[in-house]
Amino acid sequence: MRLLFIILTHLTLILACSRVLYYNHRQDEEDMITIGRSVDFVQDSTLAFWVFPRGLKRTGGVDDPFRWTSTYASTTAVMFDQMFVEGINERGLSASALFLGSDSYGPDEKSVPGMSSGIWMQYFLDTFETVGDIYNEICPRNGKEDWFEIVREAPVDGVETKIHLAMSDLTGDSLIMEYVKEGKLKCYHSKDYTVVAGDTYHMSRDRDRGKIWEEVKNRKMSNWPKPYEKYDRLFFFNHNMRPASDFATALGNTMGMIRAVSTPQIFVSPEDIAKKDLWPTQWRMYSDPGQGFVYYEDAATPLTFNYNLNDFDLTKNADIRVLRTSEMKWDGETCAGGNISDCFRALKRGQIAPFVVD
């Protein structure tokens, strides 16, 4: 473990994650959208699921922070008590933070308020209803958010964060946001962007689904489980997945795709971690943003649970609630294996929620 820590101190935070949007068009009913994602990294004993009501005062968490007040309620998975990595809001916006290997947030702009990369994703869940709104407000501004800058954080000692964001709304529209060289913000806005992986390989390719399919369909997957192979496999599965007529089938199909690109708890040497970007899958999350449904699946134990954002009081001044996976047991009599909305605890006076100010 000591050797692993030494290696980690020389690495960026490589969340070799995968994400898929599974879209089902239905003639006489609302379309169904389910989101699935995996997190591949070292185990995080602090993983928690938060429910945030409307009207929270937020801070960017750095010197001279950007500040805002949340318009929409949301639920979010938070790692290391400071990295917001997956969530949905009450209007059906879904957001994921995934690793991006070559990003740069640019030089410090002393004249612009700062925002930690850990809270970057949550800002959009707090503030927007559709990815079109985000694209129109954020992306056209000379390729950079000129009212705040992103500040990279290190949730694990000596390990920096590099992330990009993938967001989707109830129309099936998607937006990928990433910082490229020289700190320029680049946005990809299309319903075609249903698959994202924690790697730069697929970011540089043509994103047209038809062209990717021609490239992928007859190619053998020889370098599994490297991140770019995960992207191609996930794209292949999503392209060929049978339509689902009901929610249970849609959820099951989404689970099948993400499980199929997960890495078991194999022994990985520190050298392989550094050279091959190879990490075991720690957990998976699935959601139906339109229904507020969230399903968690631990990859190292049989622990599973689900809950619904709409089961909570989301009005302004309602309690902030939290559920910590470290306090749960897969074979426990309560708070495991089913709907555990009642197991979320309200924060007590004096307890702190990440990036929330009184």
**251: three-class secondary structure by DSSP:** helix
Structure-block tokens of residue 166: 């993938």
Q: What average pLDDT does this structure show over 36-61?
A: 91
The rounded mean pLDDT for the chain is 83
Structure-block tokens of residue 289: 């943003």
**189: three-class secondary structure by DSSP:** strand
Of 77-86, 205-214, 276-285, the one with minimum mean pLDDT is 205-214
Buried b (16+ CB within 10 A) or exposed e, 270-284: beebeeebbbbbbbb
The span from the CA of 230 to the CA of 227, in Å, is 5
* Per-residue pLDDT tens digits for 223-265: 555 666 788 888 889 999 999 989 999 999 999 999 999 988 8
The span from the CA of 186 to the CA of 209, in Å, is 19
Contact in structure between 347 and 353 (CB atoms under 8 Å): yes
Architecture label for domain 2-349: 4-Layer Sandwich (3.60)
Contact in structure between 217 and 1 (CB atoms under 8 Å): no
The span from the CA of 254 to the CA of 217, in Å, is 20
Degrees (nearest 5) of the Cα angle 324, 326, 330?
105
SS3 content of the chain, % helix, strand, coil (to 5): 25, 30, 45
Using 50, 70 and 90 to split pLDDT, how confident is the model at 77?
A: very high
Q: Which of the two residues, 88 and 45, has the higher pLDDT score?
A: 88
Helices 209-216 and 227-240: crossing angle, nearest 10°? 110
Q: Judge residue 197's burial from the number of C-beta atoms within 10 Å of its C-beta, 0-12 exposed, 13-18 middle, 19 or more buried.
A: buried
Dihedral angle sign, alpha carbons of residues 100, 303, 300, 234: negative
* Per-residue pLDDT tens digits for 147-194: 788 887 666 665 556 788 999 999 999 999 988 776 788 888 999 889
> Which of the listed ranges 6-20, 203-217, 224-238, 253-267 does the model predict with the highest average pLDDT?
253-267
Contact in structure between 40 and 281 (CB atoms under 8 Å): yes
Q: Which of the two residues, 350 and 60, has the higher pLDDT score?
A: 60
- Given strand 195-197, what is the order of strands in its sheet? 195-197, 18-24, 32-40, 281-288, 293-298, 304-308
Q: Are strands 57-59 and 67-69 parallel, antiparallel or unpaired?
A: antiparallel
